[in-house]
């Protein structure tokens, strides 16, 4: 999800409250005396515009030389790009070459355009120079936008019983619907969409906040196109929620449980090859179907079709790289 930073210069408490409830990520104040007042309302980050931390910097772009200088700065530095007459091409060049980019905007259209450049967009917007009502409109629009990921269909090739193994339950801080879950797989090049425990069943009450994800060795697709081992996941980590249409959103884990349970290996064939996922052998673990429904792993059969994610290449510490590598 894109970040939204808002510049403020007044004491409109209702605006502060509305912005906080709408998910603003940080306030940048122009008057130092506002700092205690805003800070008392929530734990939202508050910065004084004239005394920023070392990892945040305004950067004015007037020409190609400025663009080159910005691209060469450390990726750890959050750059707020200031361009009075900003153009798409310079932002495309920067987005392709570095992360941690914010664009200063003063209207809704510029904000929407900036977050869609090269399909990836800037990492966030810095809103300044417009009325409070416009700031809230931009904030709510950007925070309501969902991301996307390209998904396909896979065919079930095999279902094999495995001995007990350590499986990971991910309890998030949101409730999910049927057809929503997380992408899990033995290999980073192929993952299956595991449904949340939102489905009614006669055995236990639904737990729509939970993904019974799979064995500890499995990959999980996380934010920014990265992967993570299920064994590395912990409370407070960001995770990617995906539905059958490929729409994504971000939440965080409230709890991670690892317990020993009987397991199943599900073999799957996609367009690019075959892969699998090891999941718990239980009625409540379900895979998402292309129609947006879900099917329990204890009733799934060879030939059934499920929602999958595939990609070429390899991963190094969760990042996609071009490298000769085989996973088998």
Q: Do 156 and 301 have their domain in common?
A: yes
Instruction: HSE, CB side, 13 Å, CA atoms: give it for residue 43.
Output: 0
Q: Do 112 and 39 have their domain in common?
A: yes
Determine, yes or no, domain membership for 311.
yes
Q: Do 270 and 187 have their domain in common?
A: yes
d(CA 164, CA 258): 12
pLDDT for the residue 64? 85
Judged against a pLDDT cut of 70, whether residue 326 lies above it is answered with no
Determine, yes or no, domain membership for 61.
yes
Q: In which domain, by residue range, is 93 found?
A: 3-145
Q: Which of 1-5, 177-181, 248-252 has the highest mean pLDDT?
A: 177-181
pLDDT for the residue 321? 45
Number of domains within the chain: 2
Determine, yes or no, domain membership for 87.
yes
For the chain, the farthest-separated pair of C-alpha atoms sits apart, in whole angstroms, at 67
CATH number for 252: 2.170.16
Q: Write down which residue in 145, 166, 198 finishes a domain.
A: 145
Q: Do 127 and 219 have their domain in common?
A: no
Residue 261 structure tokens: 């349970």
Q: Do 259 and 280 have their domain in common?
A: yes
Judged against a pLDDT cut of 50, whether residue 138 lies above it is answered with yes
Q: Do 125 and 32 have their domain in common?
A: yes
Q: Do 24 and 132 have their domain in common?
A: yes
Q: Write down which residue in 145, 177, 208 finishes a domain.
A: 145
Q: What are the DSSP calls for 33-53, one per residue?
A: GGHHHHHTT-S-EEEETTS--
Question: Confidence class of residue 173 from pLDDT cuts 50, 70 and 90?
Answer: very high
CB 46 within 8 A of CB 26: yes
pLDDT for the residue 313? 56
Q: Write down which residue in 96, 120, 145 finishes a domain.
A: 145
d(CA 189, CA 172): 25
Determine, yes or no, domain membership for 306.
yes
Report the candidate in 171, 262, 253, 180 with the shortest Cα–Cα distance to residue 215. Answer: 262
3-class SS at 156? strand
CB 74 within 8 A of CB 98: no
- The percentage of residues in the chain with a pLDDT greater than 90, rounded to a whole number, is 66
Determine, yes or no, domain membership for 101.
yes
Q: List, in order, residues 6 or more apart from 291 with CB less than 8 Å away.
A: 244
CB 300 within 8 A of CB 156: yes
Q: Which residues of 9-22 are buried (b: 16+ CB within 10 A; e: fewer)?
A: eeeeeebbebbeeb
């Amino acid at each position: 999800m894109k970040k939204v930073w808002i510049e403020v210069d007044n004491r409109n408490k209702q605006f502060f409250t509305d912005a906080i409830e709408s998910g603003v990520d940080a306030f940048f104040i122009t008057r130092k005396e506002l700092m205690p007042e805003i800070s008392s309302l929530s734990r939202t980050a508050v910065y004084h515009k004239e005394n920023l931390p070392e990892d945040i910097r305004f950067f004015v772009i007037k020409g190609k030389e400025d663009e080159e200088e910005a691209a060469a700065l450390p990726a750890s530095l959050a750059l707020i790009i200031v361009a009075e007459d900003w153009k798409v091409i310079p932002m495309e060049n920067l987005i392709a070459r570095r992360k941690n980019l914010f664009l200063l905007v003063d209207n809704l259209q510029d904000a929407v355009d900036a977050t869609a450049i090269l399909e990836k967009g800037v990492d966030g917007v810095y809103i300044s120079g417009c009325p409070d009502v416009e700031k809230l409109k931009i904030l709510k629009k950007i925070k309501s936008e969902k991301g996307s990921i390209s998904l396909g269909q896979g065919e079930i090739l095999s279902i094999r019983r495995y001995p007990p193994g350590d499986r990971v339950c991910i309890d998030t801080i949101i409730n999910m619907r049927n057809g929503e879950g997380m992408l899990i797989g033995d290999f980073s090049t192929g993952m299956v969409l595991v449904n949340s425990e939102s489905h009614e069943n006669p055995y236990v009450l639904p737990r729509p906040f939970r993904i019974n994800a799979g064995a500890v060795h499995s990959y999980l697709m996380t934010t920014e196109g990265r992967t993570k081992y299920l064994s590395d996941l912990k409370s407070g980590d960001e995770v990617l929620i995906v539905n059958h249409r490929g729409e994504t959103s971000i939440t965080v884990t409230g709890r991670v449980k690892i317990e020993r349970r009987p397991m199943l290996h599900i073999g799957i064939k996609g367009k690019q090859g075959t892969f699998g996922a090891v999941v718990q052998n239980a009625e409540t673990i379900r895979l998402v179907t292309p129609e947006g429904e879900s099917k329990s792993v204890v009733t799934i059969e060879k030939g059934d079709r499920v929602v999958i994610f595939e990609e070429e290449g390899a991963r190094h510490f969760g990042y996609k790289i071009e490298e000769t590598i085989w996973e088998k």
